[in-house]
Chains A and B, each alone.
Chain A
């Protein structure tokens, strides 16, 4: 079911938690609401559910305005951050609750619950109480309970916040598969950009109650709409330069001024994969020492130290590293193939990518 927000604002007293937000989620999509804590993303989710009322603006589910429709009638499934399982009921009764309320027949309830127990790999646990389950199991019971009455929309508030890193990884994959199998429109809130990139079809990025950008993981990564998004999504080298004599400079680094007048500051960002390294000191324009190599599985992160002491990050695959014959504390040369102007003192500068050489190396894994 498509969901549409139109000019939605929410104020708690004088504090604006959400500021004039509009976006659409298409039928069957898996969308992440991403942003730092306090960004307003949970409030947006709760407004879609009907647990909060917007101060201004309209919310549409299936092209029907739902502002005046109570939470009970919206046919949504909501998974709370702390799961909020009914602690006096066992797993079976938790999952069956929504069906009992909807007055399903006992036989149908039993069939539906065992179907969900199987889907969520919880068979055998139906008689346990919530306090006898691990975090990951509680999580799955909460999802099963939300899915039981066949909601139009599944809403998840920080679904993987309360479980440890390894289980979180598994649960992410598992959510993608679940979404693929059920094809129910799903919106989840997260503050983890990696999680949003990995799991969702599209990402809605919030900061301080404002919608900063909406797009596919690739779009927000490659074409961030503004400085906030560029810094928030993925790893980026960010440097602040001063324009002197028609060029932006920081120590030995030099960039074109892009029309910014002398004496003003400009912030430039570039992804680690844009830093191209050569083992021969003369190959590229800038010289540096390869200080340290971090092994991140198939990708390596390299830390370059410039003569002025400035540290920059680069990355490459293990194969490239071996081919170039690099090692720690080796003098190298490098160039920046692609960069982005993030902002400047004049403030009017649009964010844009400048490609110096070949096209972008592409979106690899590990960000």
Chain B
């Protein structure tokens, strides 16, 4: 079991990193330095400043990660030991059932996996929709006339 987790982490974490590194590089360290000058500790700076600014990147990373973890076969197959009910993942079980000529069982689990993939897609779409709505709400506030100001 820890082997499966390790192997999955090994395969999937690069997806999160790939999402986050460009976002963080683009943001630079200015905001973090500003937080430090305002008295924030390292952890508070990370929690209030760094994490919120990479929120969407992190969520996308986790979704990609999840999709990959559900479907992963190769690495997990090597380390799992194939003990039914204990160290099985869905793709491994599908393979096992198929090898045992249990086509009905294999297809049932495959359908379930496909359904989970659709759910993941649904979550991703919903998150995108929410992010967009947040942006629009912020934009709407701009249309409200504000008190005049000489130097813009």
A residues with a Cβ closer than 8 A to B are 49-51, 71-73, 75-78, 80, 82, 84-89, 97-98, 101-102, 121, 123-125, 127-129, 132, 134-137, 145-146, 149, 167, 170-171, 174
Contact = CB atoms under 8 A, between A and B. Distances in A.
A107 B141 CA distance: 25
Contact of B39 (A72, A87, A136): A72
Given A86-B34, A88-B52, A88-B53, 9 more contacts: A80-B33, A84-B34, A87-B53, A88-B55, A89-B52, A97-B48, A129-B138, A145-B38, A174-B151
Contact of A86 (B31, B138, B147): B31
Contacts of B36: 51, 71-72
Contacts of A127: 141
B39 to A, nearest CB: 5
Contacts of A98: 38-39
Contacts of B141: 127-128, 132
B104 interface: no
Contact of B138 (A97, A125, A132): A132
A123 B146 CA distance: 9
Contacts of A137: 149, 152
B38 A149 contact: yes
Contacts of B44: 101
A58 to B, nearest CB: 21
B20 interface: no
B40 interface: yes
B151 A124 contact: no
B35 interface: yes
Q: SS class of chain B's interface: helix, strand, loop or mixed?
A: helix
A144 B146 CA distance: 19
Interface string B25-46: 0010011011111111100100
Interface residues of B, number: 27
Contacts of B53: 86-88
14 contacts: A76-B37, A84-B31, A85-B31, A85-B34, A88-B49, A88-B55, A97-B38, A97-B40, A97-B48, A102-B39, A124-B147, A135-B152, A146-B38, A174-B151
B83 interface: no
Most buried by A among B27, B31, B44: B31
B25 to A, nearest CB: 15
A121 B138 contact: no
B34 A80 contact: yes
A42 B111 CA distance: 62
Contacts of A174: 151
Contact of B151 (A125, A145, A170): A170
A226 to B, nearest CB: 34
A82 B29 CA distance: 12
Contacts of B30: 80, 82, 84
Nearest to A170: B151
A149 B37 CA distance: 11
Nearest to B145: A124
Given A84-B31, A170-B150, A170-B151, A78 B52 contact: no
Contacts of A121: 149
Nearest to B152: A134
Contacts of A124: 146-147
B34 A49 contact: no
Nearest to B147: A124
> Which of B27, B35, B151, B152 gathers the greatest number of chain A CB atoms within 10 Å?
B151
A142 to B, nearest CB: 8
A50 B38 CA distance: 12
Contacts of B40: 72, 97, 101
Nearest to A102: B39
B23 to A, nearest CB: 12
A75 B38 CA distance: 8
B142 A128 contact: yes
A186 to B, nearest CB: 15
Interface centre among A51, A87, A97, A136 (most CB of B within 10 A): A97
Given A132-B142, A167-B151, A78 B34 contact: yes
B37 A49 contact: yes
